[in-house]
Amino acid sequence: MSSNLLLGTYTPVTHLVEFTAPTSSSPPSLRLVKDLPIPRASWITRHPSLRDIWYIAHEADDGGGSIAGVEGKVWVYRISPEGDVARLGEVSAVDNPCHIAVVAGGTGLAVVNVSIASYQGLEADG
């Protein structure tokens, strides 16, 4: 059985990979599907029921690192299994968001960093 995962980095791309679970006759494997043009993905989470909807935390960037005290963003993307990307929107986030989670059965998004938390309600389509 295989499933797609996103691997974020502090680089200009986010990696879409296919993970294949181990079986009795083969070890687990990762295969790069595509490098996506999504920069500086510091945290990634997937909607629990809308499996093509992904939320990606993006820290503010001064060209060489994070900017303290500057609002970051959470971007909302639709990403197909083949790596087709459509940015659906963004929400303002706490100062350099370092964790996001879809909560309340997919009706909200919790965003936190080391000292601040926020909550954003979600529409039915993610």
Name the token pair of 110. Answer: 């919790």
**53 or 115, higher pLDDT:** 53
State the average pLDDT over residues 13-17. Answer: 96
DSSP letter at 10 equals: S
User: What is the separation of C-alpha 25 from the centre of its chain, rounded to a whole number of angstroms?
Assistant: 32
Distance CA 105, CA 38 (A): 26
Highest mean pLDDT among 22-31, 67-76, 103-112: 22-31
Would the pTM of this model clear 0.85, i.e. be above it?
Answer: no
Segment 18-66, tens digit of pLDDT: 999 999 999 999 999 999 999 888 899 999 999 999 999 987 665 555 5
Q: What is the pLDDT at residue 69? A: 58
